[in-house]
Amino acid sequence: MKSHRFMLSVVLMSLCTVAFAQSDAQKSSVAPVPSEAQKSFTTMKSLAGEWEGPVNVLEMPQISGGKLLHVSLRVTSRGNALVHELQEAGTPLDATKYDHPVTMLYVDGDQLTLVHYCDAGNRPRMTGKMSPDGKTVEFELKDISGSTDYHMHHSVFTFIDANHHTEDWTFMMKDKPMHAHMDLTRAK
């Protein structure tokens, strides 16, 4: 009698295991629908590469059109992060002498997140959304670690084509905004 009960429990457990395995197999065959943040991040990752172009600072015409910037965008962390590095073109990678801010982009829950490691010593965090036409991703300030006197406040990435995009960054100097527009073409 004990052996029959034992066999019955083994058979029931086997049936349950098979049922759960089939249920899991059915679930895994249907690809999950990517969230808006994931779609935006995939679009941002298409910018991976080396970029160069002029910067125009609207509030400082003496800088406009003359200074060339180099932007490097690199997908890292098994595709889970995008590193954005900015420097003046032709300058060595020496962050002790030259500006070299680093920005990280990633999906955090249902948000496309940007953290800018600023040369001003702070870390503004922004959340981004793609426009309905898929041509721009705009980031709004969410919060900031460190001093708020001088900080990056807003950014917009506009996709022209596979080899051309623009970046617009707003930097706050106390309460006065400075707007920088970069017109970048793929260098590599």
Most confident by average pLDDT, 5-19, 25-39, 170-184: 170-184
Q: What's the rounded mean pLDDT across residues 144-169?
A: 95
pLDDT at 4: 52
pTM: 0.80
Is the separation of the CB atoms in 152 and 170 below 8 Å? yes
Q: What's the rounded mean pLDDT across residues 169-177?
A: 92
Q: Predicted confidence band at 20 (pLDDT cuts at 50, 70, 90)?
A: very low
**How do beta strands 111-117 and 102-108 pair?**
antiparallel
CA-based Rg of the chain, rounded to a whole angstrom? 24
- Other residues' Cβ atoms within 10 Å of the Cβ of residue 86: 21
- Counting residues of the chain whose pLDDT is more than 70, the rounded percentage is 80
- Indicate the SS3 state at residue 103: strand
In this structure, what DSSP letter does residue 100 have?
A: -
